[in-house]
Amino acid sequence: MTKKLTPAPAFASEEEERAFWETHDSADHLDPATAERVRFPNLKPSTCSISLRLPVSLLERIKVEANKRDVPYQSLIKVWLKEKVG
């Protein structure tokens, strides 16, 4: 048995739309079987700047490793953290 879908209303503003979806179930208005996969190739993940104190000798060793790989040392640190944390 298929569920009768109600068209979503037109919204005057993003705030009005947000308020509507906070109190309504999208399953009453959208059919997941007709959904299409989309890609956002230019969407970048949010980042946060942090300050991290490292011993000078450790930072120098990281910079040497980054130089060997021809990558910025901060990028190498991010790669290593991602590998370790998962």
What are the pLDDT digits (tens) for 15-71?
999 999 999 998 888 888 888 999 888 888 888 999 999 999 999 999 999 999 999
74 versus 27: which is more confidently predicted? 74
Compute how many other C-beta atoms are within 10 angstroms of the C-beta atom of residue 34: 7
**How far is the C-alpha of 14 from the C-alpha of 69, rounded, in Å?**
46
- Six token digits for residue 29: 């208005």
Three-state secondary-structure class, residue 19: helix
Our CA dihedral for 42, 71, 65, 85, rounded to 10 degrees, sits at 0
